Amino acid sequence: MVRDEKQVTVRTCGFTFTTTGRPCANHVADDELYCRAGHPCIGPTRHADIGRWAAHHGTLFPAGSGTSTSTVPDRRRRASLLLARALSHEDAEADGVCADWLLADPAVALALLGSPDAAPEARDAVIQRFGLVGALLVVAHEDRWQRHLAVLSGNSEATSVADPVAGHLERLVKNFAHIDARRLETLLGDIDRAENATPTSQAAARHRLHAAYAVAARDGSDFSHHEYMKSLNEVLKNTRPPVAS
C-alpha cells in the first residue's frame, strides 16, 4: 500500500533583532505560524497563489516609518488610503479569505494584518468586510506589531500605548467583537480628535454611518441593518447635490 505523505519544506525565521540587527534564523516549517522563539512567521505557501493580489503586495508600513516603534502620523488618513485600495481589488472573501477567522485569533491577526510581511488578501478581506473600521483595524495591528517588536528587543520604553491615537486603536481591537454602533461612533470621533481633526456635524454623521456599517457586517441582524440604513439616509440628506436644479 502506498501512503501519501504531506511534503513540508523547512526555512529560517526572518525576524531581525532591532538591538543587534542579526536575524533569528530558527528553522521553521512552511505550515507553522511561529518559530521556536515565538516570532510570527508567514510561510511562502500563504503567498503562493495570491494571484490578483500580487500587484499591491508593497511595503505595509508608510514610507519612512520602517518597523520602528515611532508614532505613525495621520493613521486616519492611512486607513482611508487602505480602504480605497482594498475596494479597488477583487472580493477577498469570495476567494476563501475569511475576515471573521482572521480577527478571531489575535496572534494570527497580528501576523497577517500587522507585520511587514502581512498577507495583502488578509488585509483586503477585513477592509472589504468592515469598511473604514476594518481599515482602522489593520492600522491598529500595525501599531501592535511595532510594540511587539519593542517587547522582543527589550525596549521597555516603547511598549506603552501612551500615544492617544494608538490608545484608541487598541480599544478598537480589544472591543470590536462586542462594541455597539453608538460606542463605535464615539471611538471614531475620538480617533479624529486625537489627530487634530475639526469636529463637524457632517463628520459625526459619517462616523455614525461607518460604525453602523461595521456593526451590521459583523452581526448581520435585522436591527443592525436597519440602523445602517437610517445612518445612510442621514448622510444622503445632508449631502448637497453637485449641481443645483
* DSSP characters over the chain: ---------EEE---B-TTT--B---EEETT-SB-TT--B---GGGTTT-GGGGGG---SSPTTTTT-SSPPS-HHHHHHHHHHHHHTS--TGGGT--HHHHHHSHHHHIIIIISTT--HHHHHHHHHHHHHHHHHHHHHHHHHHHHHHHHHHT-GGGSS--SHHHHHHHHHHHHTTT--HHHHHHHHHHHHHHTTPPP-HHHHHHHHHHHHHHHHHHH--HHHHHHHHHHHHHHHHTSPPSS--
Whether residue 32 is predicted with pLDDT greater than 90 in this model: the reply is no
Whether residue 119 is predicted with pLDDT greater than 70 in this model: the reply is yes
Percent of the chain at pLDDT > 70 equals 64
In a domain, 121, yes or no: yes
Q: How many domains would you assign to the chain?
A: 2
What's the pTM? 0.68
Among 9-18, 72-81, 83-92, 133-142, the range of highest mean pLDDT: 133-142
Q: Do 14 and 109 reside in the same domain of the chain?
A: no
pLDDT of residue 141: 94
Whether residue 14 is predicted with pLDDT greater than 70 in this model: the reply is no
Q: Do 96 and 184 reside in the same domain of the chain?
A: yes
pLDDT of residue 23: 65
Range of the domain at 41: 9-47
Q: Do 30 and 124 reside in the same domain of the chain?
A: no
What is the distance between the alpha carbons of residues 130 and 99, in angstroms, rounded to a whole number?
Answer: 9
In a domain, 60, yes or no: no
pLDDT of residue 91: 86
In a domain, 76, yes or no: yes
Select the more confidently predicted residue: 39 or 217: 217
Q: Do 35 and 129 reside in the same domain of the chain?
A: no
In a domain, 3, yes or no: no
Percent of the chain at pLDDT > 90 equals 36
Whether residue 74 is predicted with pLDDT greater than 90 in this model: the reply is no
Residue 185, amino acid: E
pLDDT of residue 176: 96
What is the rounded average pLDDT of the residues 185-205? 87
In a domain, 66, yes or no: no
Q: Do 109 and 186 reside in the same domain of the chain?
A: yes
Whether residue 77 is predicted with pLDDT greater than 50 in this model: the reply is yes
What is the rounded average pLDDT of the residues 53-59? 38
In a domain, 58, yes or no: no
Q: Do 108 and 191 reside in the same domain of the chain?
A: yes
Q: Do 79 and 43 reside in the same domain of the chain?
A: no
What is the rounded average pLDDT of the residues 3-30? 58
Whether residue 160 is predicted with pLDDT greater than 60 in this model: the reply is no
Whether residue 24 is predicted with pLDDT greater than 70 in this model: the reply is no
In a domain, 217, yes or no: yes
